[in-house]
């Protein structure tokens, strides 16, 4: 068994199904996945599948299975893939791609029986296209790779201090001004002086959403509020708090800006509601991510309008004002059939219990677990295990694999699943994305998919070689030789080198 993530149950059998041009039958409900499978065999093995009444290969509809479950039975004479949905069938095809072998001049599938279903309902990957912009072609390829790892959510971080990355017809200055910055900070603290910009048009976004649908990923758009909004404030400075007289620019550096949206200004609410309607128009996802992280409150403390809002709404302080701000948009989006997600910085006693928390922040896990045990739905994106932008020395493959989303959780039903984010401050190319993400995304995928009692790191490593061969066929620049567990001293030394030169590890790959 060389499949990642490891299936729930598998039983090896004698023999193999040798492939040649042969018959193929599928239920109409599984036609999308049947087409993907047919195209793969033709391109990879030169094998054509023709529709026949009594074929060797069958994709069957089975309503006794769960929506994401599949069952696979291969013998010397036939291949039967059963699923309740096209989504489940696609996961079965991703398993078949890994099972496909070549020997003695022929392609074949080993005889095997598999019953498989995911452990968590939420299995996500996040791509930041703000710090460095990536176009629809790159995003669509990453969507295919995320699907190949049996993930089902693709979180697209679209706005931040360093850029505004989707087309707004209602607020054109967000693209005219907010989508470009004059340069990008370097490690020595200077700017490179090279303008950086770009945004996805609505047509681009529709194509991305349609492509994701084909591969059964839901695109979750993120518009970060009320902090990380310098790109918005550069375009619409009237949304700044009173007393902030300086001109805000689209930031060229990383980190946290003290300039955030004014929560006491009704213009802020009006603009954001219209902007969110544009988001809803494009993205059918049940979830909208509103950020909520790293929002310093100094401007709010000195703003007459924010302080008046606190008094009028009978709020305790500025942190309660942020909860009120988030709740406002949570209710607005709920009317449109959407559920809000925020980073766990936004966790507050006043926060609407229907809002989902995405846990990331070091030192806050106990607080997040307490919220989950009290009924709050949570997505785990633990910084120390699942942030893929940090070096492999700091977050080795084994550490990602060892992550336990349920540690300390008394109500596991409130942990929706896991998500592995990639922030792109120091990731400026597609090749660097690949190096940072793979194979750590495979480890995160197994955390999300495979039952915890079946996980075993050494076994996982033994299955990686087949995955690596597939990465190479796909043109993925994965990180080589990262399977060993480095000592703490080597990890510290490697991380220190990375802090001085973020490409030091990458150049050696």
The candidate with the shortest Cα–Cα distance to 366, out of 378, 356, 353, is 378
CB 404 within 8 A of CB 386: no
- Residues 164 and 281 reside in one and the same domain: yes
- Residues 108 and 132 reside in one and the same domain: no
Mean pLDDT for the stretch of residues 352-363: 97
Residue 490 lies in a domain: no
DSSP 44-63: HH---EEE-SS-SEEEEE-T
Question: What's the pLDDT score for residue 324?
Answer: 98
Question: In the structure encoding, which two tokens stand for residue 446, read together?
Answer: 């197994």
CA–CA separation, 437 vs 234, rounded Å?
32
Treating both helix axes as pointing N-terminal to C-terminal, what angle do 86-99 and 31-45 enclose, rounded to 10 degrees?
Answer: 20
Q: What percent of the chain has pLDDT over 70?
A: 100
| Band (133; pLDDT cuts 50, 70, 90) | very high
- Residues 45 and 146 reside in one and the same domain: no
Residue 147 lies in a domain: yes
| Integer angstrom CA distances of residue 249 from 33, 131, 160, 163 | 46, 15, 12, 10
Question: What's the pLDDT score for residue 246?
Answer: 76
Q: What CATH number did the domain enclosing 284 receive?
A: 3.20.20.80
Mean pLDDT for the stretch of residues 399-407: 98
Residue 491 lies in a domain: no
- Residues 219 and 285 reside in one and the same domain: yes
Domain containing 372 equals 122-455
> For the segment 299-317, what is each residue's pLDDT rounded down to a tens digit?
999 999 999 999 999 999 9
Residue 29 lies in a domain: yes
Maximum CA extent, the chain: 79
Q: Which residues contact 5 (CB under 8 A, 6 or more apart)?
A: 149, 150, 442, 445, 446, 448, 449, 450
Q: Which residues contact 314 (CB under 8 A, 6 or more apart)?
A: none
Q: What CATH number did the domain enclosing 90 receive?
A: 3.30.379.10
Decide if pLDDT at 237 tops 80. Answer: yes
Cite the beta strand spans of 159-294 per DSSP E: 159-160, 163-164, 180-181, 196-197, 218-225, 287-291
Decide if pLDDT at 41 tops 80. Answer: yes
CA–CA separation, 399 vs 394, rounded Å?
9
- Residues 80 and 130 reside in one and the same domain: no
Question: What's the pLDDT score for residue 118?
Answer: 98
The candidate with the shortest Cα–Cα distance to 55, out of 21, 23, 17, 82, is 23
Mean pLDDT for the stretch of residues 130-154: 98
Question: What's the pLDDT score for residue 187?
Answer: 85
Domain boundary residue, one of 428, 455, 482: 455
- Residues 130 and 34 reside in one and the same domain: no
C-alpha Rg value of the chain to the nearest Å: 24
Name the one residue in this structure whose structure tokens are 């940072």. 436
DSSP conformational letter for 249: -
**Arithmetic mean of pLDDT over the chain:** 97
- Residues 63 and 183 reside in one and the same domain: no
Mean pLDDT for the stretch of residues 320-340: 98
- Residues 309 and 427 reside in one and the same domain: yes
The full 3-state SS of 272-293, as one line of letters, equals: HHHHHHHHHHHCCCCEEEEECC
Mean pLDDT for the stretch of residues 43-54: 90
Residue 508 lies in a domain: no
CA–CA separation, 129 vs 198, rounded Å?
9
CA–CA separation, 346 vs 32, rounded Å?
39
- Residues 81 and 201 reside in one and the same domain: no
DSSP conformational letter for 191: B
Question: What's the pLDDT score for residue 61?
Answer: 98
Domain boundary residue, one of 437, 455, 473: 455
Q: Which helix (H) or strand (E) holds 448?
A: helix 440-449
Question: What's the pLDDT score for residue 247?
Answer: 87
Decide if pLDDT at 244 tops 90. Answer: no
198 phi, psi to nearest 5 deg:
135, 155
CA–CA separation, 401 vs 328, rounded Å?
38
- Residues 87 and 211 reside in one and the same domain: no
- The neighbouring-strand residues paired with 221 are 156
Domain boundary residue, one of 116, 146, 168: 116
- Residues 24 and 64 reside in one and the same domain: yes
| Band (383; pLDDT cuts 50, 70, 90) | very high
In terms of pTM, does the model score above 0.95? yes
Considering its fold, how many domains does the chain have in total? 2
Q: Which residues contact 10 (CB under 8 A, 6 or more apart)?
A: 1, 3, 112, 113, 114, 115, 116
The candidate with the shortest Cα–Cα distance to 60, out of 22, 103, 27, is 27
Peptide bond into 263 cis (omega under 30): no
DSSP conformational letter for 358: E
Output the CA torsion 182→187→189→195 (10° steps).
-10
Residue 482 lies in a domain: no
Question: In the structure encoding, which two tokens stand for residue 345, read together?
Answer: 């910085």
Lowest-pLDDT range of 105-109, 215-219, 243-247, 260-264: 243-247
Peptide bond into 143 cis (omega under 30): no
End-to-end CA distance of the chain: 28
Question: What's the pLDDT score for residue 1?
Answer: 85
CA–CA separation, 154 vs 147, rounded Å?
9
Q: What percent of the chain has pLDDT over 90?
A: 97
Question: What's the pLDDT score for residue 243?
Answer: 81
| Integer angstrom CA distances of residue 337 from 218, 279, 284 | 15, 13, 10
Task: Using DSSP, state whether 150 is helix, strand or coil.
Answer: coil
CA–CA separation, 58 vs 361, rounded Å?
47
Question: What's the pLDDT score for residue 51?
Answer: 83
CB 301 within 8 A of CB 241: no
> For the segment 431-456, what is each residue's pLDDT rounded down to a tens digit?
999 999 999 999 999 999 999 999 99
- Residues 130 and 279 reside in one and the same domain: yes
Buried b (16+ CB within 10 A) or exposed e, 129-167: bbbbbbebeebbbbbebbbbbbbbbbbbbbbbbbbbbbb
DSSP conformational letter for 200: B
């Amino acid at each position: 068994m060389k499949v990642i993530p490891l299936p729930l149950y598998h039983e090896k059998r004698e023999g193999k199904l040798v492939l040649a041009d042969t018959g193929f039958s599928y239920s109409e409900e599984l036609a999308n996945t049947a087409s993907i499978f047919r195209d793969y065999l033709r391109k990879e093995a030169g094998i054509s599948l023709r529709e026949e009444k009594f074929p060797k290969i069958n994709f069957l509809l089975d309503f006794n299975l769960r929506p994401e479950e599949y069952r696979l039975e291969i013998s010397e004479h036939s291949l039967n893939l059963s699923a309740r949905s096209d989504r489940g069938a696609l996961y079965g095809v991703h398993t078949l791609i890994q099972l496909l072998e070549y020997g003695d001049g022929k392609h074949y599938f080993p005889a095997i029986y598999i019953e498989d279903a995911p452990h968590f309902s939420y299995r996500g990957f996040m791509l930041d296209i703000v710090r460095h912009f990536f176009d629809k072609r790159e995003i669509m390829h990453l969507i295919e790779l995320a699907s190949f790892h049996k993930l089902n959510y693709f979180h697209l971080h679209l706005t931040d201090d360093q850029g505004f990355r989707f087309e707004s017809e209602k607020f054109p200055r967000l693209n005219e001004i907010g989508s470009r910055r004059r340069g990008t900070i370097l490690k020595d603290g200077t700017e490179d002086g090279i303008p950086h910009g770009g945004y996805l048009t609505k047509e681009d976004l529709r194509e991305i959403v349609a492509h994701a649908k084909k591969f059964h990923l839901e695109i979750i758009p993120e518009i970060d509020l009320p902090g990380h909004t310098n790109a918005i404030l550069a375009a619409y400075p009237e949304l700044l708090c009173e007393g902030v007289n300086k001109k805000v620019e689209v930031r060229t550096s990383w980190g946290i800006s003290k300039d955030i949206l004014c929560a006491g200004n009704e213009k802020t609410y009006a603009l954001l509601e219209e902007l969110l309607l544009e988001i809803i128009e494009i993205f059918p996802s049940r979830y909208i991510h509103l950020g909520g992280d790293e929002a310093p409150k100094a401007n709010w403390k000195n703003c007459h309008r924010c302080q008046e809002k606190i008094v009028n709404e009978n709020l305790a302080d500025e942190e309660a004002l942020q909860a009120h701000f988030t709740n406002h948009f949570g209710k607005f989006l709920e009317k449109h059939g959407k559920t809000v997600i925020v980073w766990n910085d936004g966790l507050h006693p006043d926060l609407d219990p229907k809002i989902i928390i995405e846990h990331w922040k070091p030192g806050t896990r106990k607080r997040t677990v307490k919220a989950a045990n009290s009924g709050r739905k949570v997505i785990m994106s633990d910084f120390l295990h699942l942030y893929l932008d940090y070096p492999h020395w700091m977050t080795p493959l084994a550490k990602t694999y060892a992550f336990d989303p349920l540690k300390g959780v008394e109500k596991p039903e409130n942990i929706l699943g896991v998500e592995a984010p990639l922030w792109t401050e120091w990731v400026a190319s597609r090749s660097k994305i690949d190096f940072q993400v793979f194979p750590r995304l495979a480890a995160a995928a197994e955390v999300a998919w495979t039952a915890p009692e079946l996980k075993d790191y050494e076994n996982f490593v033994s299955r990686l070689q087949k995955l690596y061969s597939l990465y190479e066929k796909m043109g993925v620049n994965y990180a080589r030789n990262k399977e060993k567990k480095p000592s703490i001293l080597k990890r510290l030394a490697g991380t220190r080198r990375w802090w001085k030169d973020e490409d030091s590890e990458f150049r050696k790959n």
